[in-house]
Chain A
Amino acid sequence: MSLLSVRDLQAGYGKVEVLFNGHIEVEPGELVGIVGPNGAGKSTFLGAMAGSVKPSSGCIEFEGVSIRGKKPEDIVRLGLALVPEGRAIFTDLTVNENLLLGLTGRRDKSGSAKALAEATELFPVLSTHRDQQAGLLSGGQQQQLAIARALVCEPKLLMLDEPSLGLSPTVIQDVFSVLNKIQELGTAIIVVEQRAHLIMSIASRTLVMREGQVRATLTREDAKDETKLAAAYFGTGSDSE
């Protein structure tokens, strides 16, 4: 059984539909990428799965149970966490308070201290800035905080919306190397990225979205094939699905 199984998902804002055909399968511990141009519906897709965007039709099953239409605060408790685009940390709160908020979505509160320790172990910079106001962190540190904050609830599936946004290349490398570590710890990950090559090199599969639809699925090998990637990305040539 897949950890996450989504079929024919449609979602949007008010009367404006943005996502017309979202589908994805994620196995436990798998890292799946989603790429596509601006406005392709990637963030809406993640939002619909996390419960922050209302799906209008389709099917979302997490561990075999339908979660479509559930509230975000309930979905995170099931083990599906989203780090939204632009990091969305609480800049007025301290680093520690941000992390403590991440504990809200835990099912069992007993492992809280251990989870906090593990998250700061992955991102040592956070423990040195513990009592600092989160808004004073650098962009890369803020992204690390956002990921750590989602990890302390020990999700089974972590979804990241453009973690590289606004970060310098070296910082991006740091963030992405941590993704590998998180995956090794057994957490499945979905990463939405504009930088297709970056994500395709670490993901087992990468979905290409365009105009609100998942148009193609690329493997790691496909990343080396520029024409195949360009075709899927820009819609030149025929789609692979």
Chain B
Amino acid sequence: MIQTILDALSYGGLYGLAALGIGLVFGVMRLVNFAHGELIAIGAYLFIITVDLGLPISILIAVTGTAILALLMELSVFKRLRLAGPSVLLIASFGVSIFLQRLYEIIFGALPLSGQIAPWMSGVIEFGNTTITRGSILTIVLALALLAGMRFLIENTTLGLQIRAASSDFQTARLLGVRSNYVIGAAFVFSGVLAAAVAFVLVTQRGSVDPLFGVNITILALVGTVIGGLGSLQGAALGGFAVGMTISLLNSFLGNYRVYTYTWLFILVIIVLLIKPSGLISNKAFKERA
């Protein structure tokens, strides 16, 4: 029972991180970035490739590398599409996503690349007669730390204030002097850092990475951002958390019928959106950013 709850919380935290990464970029750019999955994948590749260098160096390389790729995405593709509408941006992100998947295939091969990252993440801790997995606890701690860190950054720093302003009304923010390229670049870098964190947890769980590594969690995290309310960072994190937790709980309760997990998940998603079409925490600001 305790393990079920901890699993749910750790899944929730993980999906919350993924959704927040997507939500940050959506907030300032109105870009639904499908290529976020490929950021998670590159993070995982970097973790596995650098495993022999020791964890601290591995983390440094993976986080920096993922953040740089996120920034490169913005500079090479999305920056050129500033005047384009959300649908063009969305299609462009599909393009980036597929391009990177093929690129990973060429560089790393289509077969999974395996490696054991942070073996101490697996294993169990015993409390009397209940045992819980170490990974779930550490994931919860990591997710809480990162969510708290992001919250501090967004709520208490000048850059965070500018990101919040740009998310709610980009035009007005620019009139006040908020530099669009700076704020958007920062949002991409943060989403890259969050993607690397997600990659870390996933790669310790799965022990291998393939070109499509990040696709599944990205789609589900996107569902989370929609449920939470597009454009609200709190909503994104919360929605992602809800989706992750629901998946984990459904997996536990459905037992042998867990093939129906996603069926039930999307039934719940439909119900939520029927009741609150704008998401749990709605943000009415939807202005052009040119």
Contacts and interface: CB of A to CB of B under 8 A. Distances in A.
Interface of A: 50-52, 71-73, 76-77, 81-82, 84, 88, 90-93, 97, 100-102, 104-106, 149-150, 153
Contacts of B162: 101, 104
Given A72-B174, A84-B171, A93-B165, 18 more contacts: A71-B180, A73-B175, A73-B177, A73-B179, A76-B176, A81-B175, A90-B169, A92-B168, A93-B164, A100-B158, A100-B161, A101-B162, A101-B165, A104-B158, A104-B176, A104-B178, A106-B177, A153-B176
A88 B285 CA distance: 11
B172 interface: yes
A42 B171 CA distance: 18
Contact of A97 (B161, B171, B174): B161
Range for the number of chain B residues in contact with chain A:
10 to 19
Contacts of A106: 177
A-B pairs with the 5 shortest C-beta distances?
A105-B177, A104-B177, A88-B172, A72-B174, A76-B177
Contact of A105 (B164, B176, B283): B176
Interface in B251-290: 283
B155 to A, nearest CB: 10
B164 A71 contact: no
A150 B176 CA distance: 7
A150 B175 CA distance: 9
A101 B180 contact: no
B173 interface: yes
Contacts of B169: 88, 90
Interface string B176-217: 111110000000000000000000000000000000000000
B161 A82 contact: no
A153 B172 contact: no
Contact of A101 (B171, B173, B179, B283): B173
A76 B180 contact: no
Contacts of A73: 174-175, 177-180
Interface of B: 158, 161-162, 164-165, 168-169, 171-180, 283
Contacts of A100: 158, 161
A192 to B, nearest CB: 15
30 contacts: A51-B174, A52-B174, A52-B175, A71-B174, A72-B175, A73-B174, A73-B177, A73-B180, A76-B177, A84-B175, A88-B169, A88-B171, A88-B172, A90-B164, A90-B169, A91-B168, A92-B168, A92-B283, A93-B161, A97-B161, A100-B161, A101-B165, A101-B173, A104-B158, A104-B177, A105-B176, A106-B177, A149-B176, A150-B176, A153-B176
Contacts of A84: 171-172, 175
Nearest to A146: B172
B176 A101 contact: yes
A81 B175 CA distance: 7
Give the one of B164, B165, B172 with max A CB within 10 A: B172
A100 B176 CA distance: 10
Contacts of B283: 92
Given A88-B169, A90-B168, A101 B174 contact: no
Q: Which of B165, B173, B177, B283 has the most CB of A within 10 A?
A: B177
Contacts of B161: 93, 97, 100-101
A126 B175 CA distance: 21
Contacts of B177: 73, 76-77, 104-106, 153
Residue among A76, A92, A102 with the highest chain B CB neighbour number at 10 A: A92
Contacts of A101: 161-162, 165, 173, 176, 178
B15 to A, nearest CB: 25
Nearest to B164: A93
